[in-house]
Amino acid sequence: MAVAMDADRLAQTLAREDRLAPLYCVTGDEPLLVTEALDALRAAARDKGYTERTTLVMDARSDWSAVLAATQSVSLFGDRKLLELKLATGKPGKAGGDTLARLAELSAGQTDPDTVIVVALPKLDRATREGKWMTALTRHGTVVEVPDVDRQRLPGWIGARLARQNQQVDDATRQWMADMVEGNLLAAHQEIMKLGLLHPEGLISAQEVERAVMNVARYDVFGLRDAMLAGDSARVVRMLDGLRAEGEALVLVLWAVGEEIRTLARLADARANGQDMNGLMRRLRVFGNHERLAQQALSRVPPAAWPAAVQHAHEVDRLVKGLHVPGRLSDPWEEMLRLALRVAAAGKRRAG
């Protein structure tokens, strides 16, 4: 069955249940909210005696026999296991789809499983939702659809998150913060955590919030994103060097760049198929200066270049996780630079 719930509601639901289900599927567009939902599942699993955890990052080219082997292996100490399968692309391929359908069927009827399986997916499109393997997961497992926080709800979300750390700001300041992060939940989360570190509990003035939010590093991931979209290769190099020197987490840099590339790939495909670009941009929360730069990139970069860029981002993700990727540099920062320049420099020679 499929249910829509955020991490808090999921945690409350799991706490009321004596046992975990054998199979869960967590899907959503917002990386922060999906991660929090997964954290809620992990915490519930630990509380119920699932002390061993195995995580596999899978795609259409992976060896899916390793998944079946992981479900059949037995701990030497008799520990129960949580098996996480992460499908960043949402496309397991035929072998992966067959394996997921098989796992779903095997989970049917289990009431107190020794292994709990959690499948993490991006938000499902219609074709994926109606596919055989996803139908099997929905029929035999619990599908948790993590809802997005749209732009209209973001000020309230910011207020609720501040309340968790016993802090408050006025309505106008919440609206200002939402405008500053351009609808980006991870950026909003970072600013909220920063306020928790810089200020005591209680009411925080608008001036104090503005000073904290505006006091950011010269080199930031959204500036890198904008330089890439603008085709400013020299600035891309400078900003990425700055982020690396300042000790920024590469996973955050890849998230900003990779999510942008995936968004633009969707927009380029929609444009090629004559779909409503303005409506799609609103749904993807691309607006303001971000929209202007996205349009600029879509006009400069050939449509056929986007699928390869998406694949490149996936390969950088594997490098960040310490995996070897044939044909790519071993240093993930260097390959991150090649990825950003792939977009920044695209179309320049032809345009000249």
The answer on 125 and 63 residing in a single domain is yes
The whole-number average pLDDT for the span 291-315 is 93
Mean pLDDT of 67-96: 83
**Whole-angstrom Cα distance, residue 325 to residue 319?**
7
What are the CB-based long-range contacts (under 8 Å, 24+) for 302-305? 302/346, 302/347, 302/350, 303/268, 303/269, 303/271, 303/272, 305/342, 305/346
Supply the CATH number for residue 27's domain.
Answer: 3.40.50.300
**Sheet bearing 81-86, strands edge to edge:** 2-4, 142-145, 23-28, 115-122, 81-86, 52-57
- Strands, E assignment, 87-204: 115-122, 142-145, 167-168, 202-203
Q: Give me the residues paired with residue 4 across strands.
A: 145
Check whether residue 318 and residue 195 sit in a common domain: no
| Residue 52, phi then psi, degrees to nearest 5 | -100, 135
pLDDT computed for residue 348 by the predictor: 66
Q: Quick one: 10 and 87 in the same domain?
A: yes
* Greater model confidence, 73 or 319: 319
- Shared-domain flag, residues 223 and 267: yes
Residue with the two structure tokens 């104090």: 208
Indicate whether 69 and 170 sit together in one domain: no
User: What is the domain range of residue 190?
Assistant: 151-212
- Residue where a domain terminates, one of 126, 143, 160: 143
List pLDDT tens digits, range 140-179.
999 999 998 888 899 999 999 999 999 999 999 998 888 8
Residue 352 included in any domain: no
Residue ranges of E strands in 146-302: 167-168, 202-203
DSSP assignment string, 169-190: --HHHHHHHHHHTTT-HHHHHH
Residue 53 is assigned to a structural domain of this protein: yes
Question: How many domains are there within the chain?
Answer: 3
DSSP 13-73: HHHH-SS--SEEEEEES-HHHHHHHHHHHHHHHHHTT--EEEEEE--TTS-THHHHHHHH-
Among 127, 143, 159, the domain boundary falls at 143
> In this predicted structure, what is the pLDDT of residue 307?
93
pLDDT of 340 over the 90 cut: yes
Interval 238-273: pLDDT, tens: 889 888 887 888 888 998 899 999 999 999 998 888
Confidence of residue 79 (pLDDT cuts 50, 70, 90): confident
User: What average pLDDT score do residues 221-247 get?
Assistant: 89
For the segment 45-54, what is each residue's pLDDT rounded down to a tens digit?
999 999 888 9
Burial of 99 (0-12, 13-18, 19+ CB in 10 A): buried
